Amino acid sequence: MGTDANNERPAGSPAAAVVHSLHERHETLATVESLTGGLLSASIVEIAGVSGVYRGGLVTYATELKSELAGVPAELLAERGPVDPDVARALAEGGRRRCGADWGLATTGVAGPEPQDGKPVGLVYVAAAGPAGTVVRQLDLDGGRDHIRSAAVIEALRLLVERIQAADDPAGAAVDDDATAAPAGRR
């Protein structure tokens, strides 16, 4: 795996942390990917023992498939485009629902090399949907296409680990569904 939003290699495997945490909790995961194009699901299925945790995923690279397969409202996509925090939220929730999983994890953004619909290269949203709600994190990444995609995977997995840990802490499980977590990257 590549480097994270701060161009650092993660200590340990974020995918292994997710798989092992979910295995201990007897919970399942689904993914919905846009800019990562299967890289997120590939990193998850590399982990031994994943079959009891990972339900499956959707790669919705084309905008209309975000609506058709993941259930993102077509009006939302028409109004804001695919790179939007509410779209990320809907992707995670749609994947969770469509795959019958306890948790949904989603990525959407602009990997480059050119801006998309007025959104800059490196603008990425990752979302984790779970039993206590959904959290979206904005990433402002720099570097080339490969780095942006790889960092998006790492940061999505980290977000999910945080949400799983928060679910174990009754004080940390509350989620503000209207809030987008602080941006990461380009610090």
Beta strand 123-130 with 103-109: parallel, antiparallel or unpaired? Answer: antiparallel
Residue 51, both tokens: 């079959």
pLDDT tens digits for range 88-122: 999 999 999 999 999 999 999 999 999 999 999 99
Instruction: With CA atoms as reference, report the closest residue to 5 among 122, 136, 170.
Output: 122
Reported pTM? 0.90
pLDDT tens digits for range 129-175: 999 999 999 999 999 999 999 999 999 999 999 999 999 886 654 54
Q: Domain residue spans in the chain?
A: 27-168
pLDDT at 170: 67
- For the chain, percent of residues with pLDDT exceeding 70: 90
Q: Quickly tell me which residue has 């161009």 as its tokens.
A: 7
pLDDT tens digits for range 28-61: 999 999 999 999 999 999 999 999 999 999 999 9
Instruction: With CA atoms as reference, report the closest residue to 32 among 110, 103, 80, 132.
Output: 103
State the Cα–Cα distance between residues 130 and 162, nearest whole angstrom.
11
Select the CATH number that applies to the domain covering 27-168 from these four: 3.40.190.10, 3.90.950.20, 3.10.20.30, 3.40.50.2300.
3.90.950.20
Higher pLDDT, residue 14 or 181: 14
